Amino acid sequence: MPASLPPFPKPQAPSDEPVLLELSTGEDEPCLRADAARNRARLLEAATRLVEEHGAAGVTMEAVAAAASVGKGTVFRRFGDRTGLLMALLDHSAKQLQAAFLSGPPPLGPGAPPVERLRAFGCAVLRQAVDHLDLQLAAQPEPSRRFSFPPQRFLTGHVTLLLRQAVPDADCALLAQTLMGYLDPALIHYLTKECGMPLERLEAGWTDLVARLTRTELPH
């Protein structure tokens, strides 16, 4: 891991629109040199193999470098740190979710009432978390950066926007953080793996929580 972290971002006023994440892939970087793009793809393939063979715990910068037959410095230059590497592995599913709630069909995408979109959003995040739980847990930044980490800020911004439409008289920025706490990968891991709760129960709990916070009736 690098010796120092990037500067802690200054607090920003809440925005009415979530900032679009620029989750990069080789295909999205036309200016990337062909050899650099090939190296990136080879590193991600090596990291994917390590996840399949050893779980996310087996994905270290050193192990990926060895599996891809490159120097460790190449891995650090390409991804910054282990969290950046793990986030790149989650990139594809994150982009799919982002596209779904920004421009996909309702109720997850635009066109449905905000409360319906909130319900659909939480259930979609829960399903994605369960599918990639090992990686999501490993990719979480340390506590000092967790809530300012761009993916987390983006999702929280989307929830804040929907809450402002559904309950404009509420402290929506704070309520959004409360809702996002329900979707924390560590909590999902505890409830599903240690408590044995099925995904369907978590989805029903999310729907109930949204109904209570927005003072609406549960869907029939």
Q: Look up residue 62 and give its two tokens.
A: 């050193």
Q: Indicate whether this model's pTM tops 0.85.
A: no
pLDDT at 128: 92
CB 32 within 8 A of CB 26: yes
Confidence of residue 11 (pLDDT cuts 50, 70, 90): very low
CB 117 within 8 A of CB 59: no
Every domain of the chain and the residues it spans: 26-89, 92-214
Measured distance CA(15)–CA(160) in Å, rounded: 9
pLDDT tens digits, one per residue of 74-83:
899 888 888 8
Q: Look up residue 123 and give its two tokens.
A: 């259930």
Q: Look up residue 119 and give its two tokens.
A: 């319900």
Measured distance CA(119)–CA(183) in Å, rounded: 12
The set of residues, in sequence order, having a beta carbon less than 8 Å from that of 19 and lying 6+ positions away, is: 150, 153, 154, 157
CA dihedral 135, 115, 182, 81 (to 10 degrees): 30
Is cis: bond before 198, omega within 30 of 0? no
Averaged pLDDT, 172-198? 96
Measured distance CA(7)–CA(19) in Å, rounded: 20
* CATH number of the structural domain 92-214: 1.10.357
> Using only C-alpha atoms, what is the Rg of the chain?
19
What percentage of the chain reaches a pLDDT higher than 90? 46
Which CATH number applies to 26-89: 3.40.50.300, 1.25.40.10, 1.10.340.70, 1.10.10.60?
Answer: 1.10.10.60
pLDDT tens digits, one per residue of 24-72:
444 444 445 777 778 888 888 888 888 888 888 888 899 999 998 888 9
More confident residue, 95 or 62: 62
Query: Is residue 208 scored above 90 in pLDDT?
Result: yes
CA dihedral 177, 183, 184, 186 (to 10 degrees): 150
